[in-house]
Every structure is written in C-alpha cells, then in structure tokens.
Chain A
Amino acid sequence: EAGVAQSPRYKIIEKRQSVAFWCNPISGHATLYWYQQILGQGPKLLIQFQNNGVVDDSQLPKDRFSAERLKGVDSTLKIQPAKLEDSAVYLCASSLWSGVTTGELFFGEGSRLTVL
C-alpha cells in the first residue's frame, strides 16, 4: 500500500513570497491533516479535513494560510505571504476515519520550508 505522498520535499523562499505544498493521502483514507513541526518541537495541527469538509481549523493562521481538499482526496496548503517564523516542516497525515478511536495517523515525509 502506497504511503502518504508530499511534495516538494524542500522549499526555500524569501519572506513575503508565497508557497504551496501538496499532499496525496493513503487511498481510501477519509481524514486528512496538516501539521506544522518547528525544529525541536512536536507537530502542531493546522487543519483537519473529513472528506472535503473542514473539521477543525482553529489553529490555522487564516490571514496567511489556506488549505483545500476539493475532491476529498488530495490537498494543498498555501502560505501567502510567508514570514520568517513559518520556517518548519509541514507534515501531512491521513487516517481511515477520524483517528480518535485508534490514535493512529499515517504521516508523509513532510515538506521542509525555509523562509529567508
């Protein structure tokens, strides 16, 4: 079974520029998550989708971050304009359902963003 695919793996941009990350979850997984992981810290949830609907985006900085999952499969996370503090690894994860009853999420390798 193919895992969670993410691209690009690495991206370097200057502050105030924009960037987009793409994620393709495991086939059949209804729930998709975007997490931000700053170096030395644990993953922090940005947004959770159930199929193509948003379940939780309470920690998404909506003035600069946006995410969509239009057809309930792959997803895109965009940052515009980027700030220095956005430098982090952006992890996409998926689960068959909400992950609550099993606590098991499947993570991609992540997209490492450096903002100069």
Chain B
Amino acid sequence: GQSLEQPSEVTAVEGAIVQINCTYQTSGFYGLSWYQQHDGGAPTFLSYNALDGLEETGRFSSFLSRSDSYGYLLLQELQMKDSASYFCAASGNTPLVFGKGTRLSVIA
C-alpha cells in the first residue's frame, strides 16, 4: 500500500522559518509533491522533487531523501497568509497519494 505521515499541526511566528516533515511508503516511488490548501479553497501545487536534494522557489523550499523515504517543506519569512494546510503527496505506480495534511498557523 501507500502511506504518508506528516504532523497534524504546526504553529509558528510571523517572520520565522518552519519545516514540515513527511515520510512515505510508496511502491514504485517517482517523486514527492507539496500542495497548499486554504480553508474552503482548492489544493494548489507548490513543488515537486524527483531527485535527492533541495529545490528552492522563492520563500518555499522542498527537500527529498529517497534513501530515507523522507522529505520536507521549508517556509521562510512566514507571513500570515501562509496559514493553511500543507499536504505532501507521492507519485508512484498509482496516481498521486496524499498525506493527511499539516495545518500551519502563523501567529503575530
């Protein structure tokens, strides 16, 4: 089967850095994606890692270690608008499988 584990909730201060971890068990693993979803909104794509290492896109970075079946999303210079749910999702032999999500609360 396929499963992904990520923390259910994270709270961080505006302007700080937060890391959201994700571990996965996926057959025929191809890559790890990250999505952001605001309450009542659609999930929106943030990043995708197919190779080991760090990918940077503005304030957001994503990391993958295939040998450890582990990845993380790093959010820098947190803003109030970053308060949302973040999902890791694994692509493999089956269509994209999502984790249960991490609810990030950014406080002043």
| With A42-B100, A100-B30, A103-B32: A48-B95 Cβ-Cβ less than 8 Å | yes
Q: How many residues of A contact B (CB 8 A)?
A: 27
- Which one of B13-21, B42-50, B73-81 is at the A interface? B42-50
Encode A83-116 as 1/0 by CB contact (under 8 A) with B: 0000000010000001111111111111000000
Determine whether the beta carbon of A45 is less than 8 Å from that of B30: no
> Is B97 part of the contact surface with A, judged by Cβ < 8 Å?
yes
| With A45-B96, A99-B96: A107-B42 Cβ-Cβ less than 8 Å | yes
Q: How many residues of B contact A (CB 8 A)?
A: 24
Residues of A whose CB lies within 8 Å of any CB of B are: 4, 33, 35, 40-45, 48, 55-56, 58, 91, 98-110
| With A42-B98, A42-B99, A45-B97: A108-B91 Cβ-Cβ less than 8 Å | no
